[in-house]
Amino acid sequence: MDDKILKLVQIAKKGNFLVFGKEGIRKYINSALCDKVLVMANDVSDKILCDYKRRAKNSNVEIVILGKYSKNDIGRAIGKDRISVVGINEKNLAFEIKRIIKATRR
């Protein structure tokens, strides 16, 4: 699951459909998009995790934590330094990530 999702994050980056940074993620969570998904590193801080979980719950945003990948791994995958959280700003990619999550939970 983690590998497939990271590949979709890389595709989102190439298509300029990736949101990151504190303010960017907060705007994304509050946006009017239908399918919203946050992808988090396995070493994200408890403070960030709790903050985004609370905000996501109120805005119907799916959160997935990549158990295999750290902030460094996600950052490297998208050409940045260290990235804790990214949002997918394209409905088909977000939908596909949600589909992968649901298939894994079965």
Tally the domains of the chain.
1
- Tokens coding 70: 């750290």
Task: Look up the domain containing 33 and give its range.
Answer: 2-105
Amino acid identity, position 76: R
Q: What is the pLDDT of residues 92-101, one digit of tens each?
A: 999 999 999 9
Q: What is the pLDDT of residues 10-66, one digit of tens each?
A: 999 999 999 999 999 999 999 888 889 999 999 999 999 999 999 888 888 999 999
pLDDT of residue 68: 93
What CATH number corresponds to the domain at position 43? 3.30.1330.30
Tell me the C-alpha distance between 80 and 61, whole Å: 24
**CA nearest 51: which of 2, 61, 13?**
61
- Burial annotation 18-39 (CB, 10 A radius, 16+ → b, else e): bbbeeeebeebbeeebebbbbb
